[in-house]
Structure 1
Amino acid sequence: MKPNSIGLGLRNELLDAALAGDIDADFLELAPENWIPFKGRRLETLAKVAENYRLTSHGLSLSIGSQDPLDYAFLKDVKQFVSQFNVEIYSEHLSYCSHKGQLYDLLPIPFTADAVFHVIDRIKDVQHYLERSLILENVSYYASPAPELSELDFICQVLKRSNCKLLLDVNNVFVNSVNHHYNPRDFIAGLPSEKIAYGHIAGHHEEFDDLYVDTHGAKVKDEVYELLDYAYKCHGVYPTLLERDFNFPALSELNGELNQIRVIQKRHE
């Protein structure tokens, strides 16, 4: 994928526009879990979308930080799915979402040395099975259980020791910086450039002055675009995707947000 590629999350509400080729994006990102269970017409629809756009995947249930065993039946389905649709990227979240069963939320991994080693062993197992690098997103979180390391140190150690890549979600950095009182630019600058595979931006909700919630249901804030600009300044331009999960505006407005990413990228080419 070219560094200046622009993407949009593929949701059911956008399928008609994707089929018509009306989304001003280079790639569309989907959650494999939303497609793997289906056969027939739904997958035929996705194949038609793939004629217009390159597809990437961003999973929801790998649960890389869990104490539960890895779900190899699920990984088998993922491997088959990404091969079937020529999906070059499989990304997930640096978090966990299961404990003796699915918890249906993305929960923060404790920032500890033991957790680093636990996670890197699981990442290596996943990478070996899928025969590709795993790309993990820095997640938003609202509590940090018994931290021994900073969020930045934890992420950097996982990236270095596991040989995985980073999905840099700039909105998550911004939200976390408010909720946990750190400088988002220092955080961005401290990440290893060579590990950044691609990125996300999204909208969020400002519940209180000191509590922001990552919602993917609103327009991207100017402060997040400014932080994206700074990320490109630090690390160079990388493929970037706009996430929108609900409260969809008119397609022209979504395309306008995608164009804002292009404008920022062009400043750094």
Structure 2
Amino acid sequence: MQRPLADASAGLGLRRALLGALQDAPSGAFDFLECAPENWIGVGGRLGDAFDSLAARHPITCHGLSLSLGGPAALDVAFVDRVGAFLDRHAVGSYSEHLSYCSDDGQLYDLLPIPFTVEAVRHVSDRIKAVQDRLGRRIAIENVSYYAAPNRALDEADFVNAVLDAADCDLLLDVNNVYVNAINHGYDARAFLAQMPSARVAQYHIAGHFDETDDLKIDTHGAPVKDDVWALLDHAYVLHGVRPTLLERDFNFPPFDVLLGEVERIREVQRRHV
């Protein structure tokens, strides 16, 4: 049975480097944990036991890395089935993926941008519908950070909206990605947020980034969330309402209580709007 999340909930990424701290965390330190299912499918032994223990105690959401929704190769339905079994086993209430691609003849180990074209809308939305049909559940797609926009025929907001409508899926709105893209590609972050469809926003992500230069930001998930991104999250809540919100941190981990302080800051922003 799936475990739904309250709209006003704050989560933390389940990373192997944090396993011990997550197991020892005080009750109520976070509301849910998020993992990439492909990092845990088939994992046994001590690590598998630790994951199972956390999944039994806390709601789990899944954010995938390997569906390659925009890729040219055939959809890997065997992998989709393995993901579905994992979601069912751990009563996962929410599964999301990136609006990108990451494979062709093999795994490319990066999340690459999809051309913003009408043809790409049809291609990726058909693949999202196939995944949803196979899993028997709605999924959410995440707006991704990107550093090149090849063959752009639509702007980013129109492309995201067209995919959401054609696929009839949900949106995982990554606020840091909006901020990073707005700086790198010269658009207004708040105007972009205003173009997103409130009814489809299922969750938010928030993360840190690296300031390469004033006009180049790199989405790293390896630094504290910056004040401008916190302000943009607050504005997203104004526009679209409070939804479950995840703090993404993948490396350069600070002391665990510092991470929990950022989770608590999510809750503080949520309380201003509930």
Structure 1 and Structure 2 fold alike (TM over 0.5): yes
8 Å contact kept, 1:19–1:52: no
- d(CA) in 2 for partners of 1:53 and 1:254? 17
TM-score normalised by the chain length of structure 2: 0.96
1:38 is aligned, of 43, 49, 53, to 43
- d(CA) in 2 for partners of 1:37 and 1:46? 11
Give the corresponding residue for 2:7: 3
1:155 is aligned, of 139, 160, 177, to 160
Give the corresponding residue for 1:18: 22
| Structure 1 residue 41: Cα displacement | 3.6
Letter in 1 for 2:185: H
- d(CA) in 1 for partners of 2:105 and 2:25? 42
Would you say 1:198 and 2:208 are equivalent positions?
A: no
1:222 is aligned, of 220, 227, 231, to 227
Unaligned runs of 5+ in 2: none
Would you say 1:121 and 2:129 are equivalent positions?
A: no
How many residue pairs were aligned? 269
8 Å contact kept, 1:21–1:52: no
- d(CA) in 2 for partners of 1:46 and 1:208? 39
Would you say 1:173 and 2:181 are equivalent positions?
A: no
- d(CA) in 2 for partners of 1:162 and 1:268? 30
Q: C-alpha offsets along residues 109-164 of structure 1, whole Å, 9 cap, x if unaligned? A: 00000000111111110000000011110000000001000000000011111111
- d(CA) in 2 for partners of 1:39 and 1:14? 17
Match of 2:234, SS state, is helix
Give the corresponding residue for 1:213: 218
Q: C-alpha offsets along residues 46-102 of structure 1, whole Å, 9 cap, x if unaligned? A: 121123311011111100001100001111110111111111111110000012111
Q: C-alpha offsets along residues 158-178 of structure 1, whole Å, 9 cap, x if unaligned? A: 111111100000000000000
Match of 1:199, SS state, is strand
| Structure 1 residue 13: Cα displacement | 1.6
8 Å contact kept, 1:62–1:92: yes
Would you say 1:144 and 2:181 are equivalent positions?
A: no
Give the corresponding residue for 1:268: 273
Letter in 2 for 1:21: A
8 Å contact kept, 1:33–1:60: yes
| Structure 1 residue 45: Cα displacement | 1.6
Unaligned runs of 5+ in 1: none
- d(CA) in 1 for partners of 2:139 and 2:257? 33
Would you say 1:72 and 2:40 are equivalent positions?
A: no
Match of 1:46, SS state, is helix
Give the corresponding residue for 2:58: 53
- d(CA) in 2 for partners of 1:122 and 1:253? 39
TM-score normalised by the chain length of structure 1: 0.98
Identical-residue share of aligned pairs (%):
55
Letter in 2 for 1:175: V
8 Å contact kept, 1:6–1:239: yes
